Amino acid sequence: MNPFPIDAVAYGNRLRSAPATEKVLFAAGAVALCVGFRSLAVTAVVVTIVTAVLRLRAGIGMRDFWGFLWLPSGFILTGVVPMAIEFLGPQTPGVLASVHIGSWHLGVTSRGLTQAMAILASSFGSLSGTLFLALTTPIVDITDQLRRWYVPVLFIDMMMLIYRFTFVLLATAGAMKTAQEVRLGYSTNRLWLRSVAMLASNLYLRSQMRAVSLFTALSCRGYSGELRVLVDRAPWSATRVLGIIGVHVLIGIWGVATRTWGWV
């Protein structure tokens, strides 16, 4: 079982061979629009377009896309909901709902709700754009593109090593959990707590050992401070780039129109 299936999707989709420049441009434009407008209307259009491109062009099902999206969306909601709740005073304007908890008077105001919805829109839209890039572009293509943009080598190598060590950590945790399940380590609540505690206490040590072994293997193969990977660079198309820019411009016009009309 792949401990990190997003990598398998990145290598197996139909946009795998598409130029990384175009995919980065599409994703970066989507994130910029969502952050710039902070509008639910713009976010809805961006998420719809991203979902359609992933389904029709990349061959990635909606279930897979939303399956990767739900976990970070939970973190977004966890952070956004408290932003809509604030302490109320006797003269607080625009109170939509309130509740007394002991001596505290908490509630939701129109200002707080508007701010929370704006942050939710920008965060969710940015997440969908970033996830589009992650699902269609392997890490080696991204780092190769960063090299072509003269990003410092140290930053790129840190990205590669952290990405690889994430796999090491997940693979180690999966192997340890499988070994515990074979020994019925999760058969009762008491054994479940004991197994989880043992896994948490030993995971870092075993992961560190595997990381040291990986670094030793790199050193034996001539690692000198820079990770070089062979990448098939597909030529970018001016027609497709203009099409991507055109889509972003249309979304921007939609965002300006919805803001003018007073839509969310």
The total domain count for the chain is 2
The mean per-residue pLDDT over the stretch 60-77 comes to 87
Residues 157, 79 share a domain: no
Residues 250, 227 share a domain: no
> Residue 25: inside a domain, yes or no?
yes
Residues 50, 73 share a domain: yes
Residues 159, 114 share a domain: no
In the block, which residue shows the tokens 């029709």?
56
| pLDDT range class, residue 264, cuts 50, 70, 90 | low
Amino acid identity of residue 196, one-letter, is V
**1-27 confidence digits (pLDDT tens):** 454 578 889 988 999 889 999 999 999
The whole-angstrom distance between residue 201's C-alpha and the CA centroid of its chain comes to: 28
Report the range of poorest mean pLDDT among 39-43, 51-55, 174-178.
Answer: 174-178
Residues 29, 75 share a domain: yes
> Residue 53: inside a domain, yes or no?
yes
Rounded distance, CA 232 to CA 177, Å?
37
> Residue 142: inside a domain, yes or no?
no
Average of per-residue pLDDT values in the chain: 87
pLDDT of residue 2: 52
What pTM, to 2 d.p., does this model score?
A: 0.82
170 vs 252 pLDDT, higher one: 252
Residues 154, 52 share a domain: no
> Residue 144: inside a domain, yes or no?
no
Range of the domain at 40: 1-137+234-264
Which of 136, 130, 118 has the alpha carbon at shortest distance from 42? 118
> Residue 143: inside a domain, yes or no?
no
**78-134 confidence digits (pLDDT tens):** 889 888 888 887 778 888 888 888 778 888 888 888 889 999 999 999 999 999 999
Residues 205, 249 share a domain: no
Residues 108, 66 share a domain: yes
* Residue 112 contacts residue 88 (beta carbons within 8 Å): no
pLDDT of 149 strictly over 60 = yes
Residues 81, 12 share a domain: yes
Residues 243, 160 share a domain: no
Rounded distance, CA 100 to CA 112, Å?
18
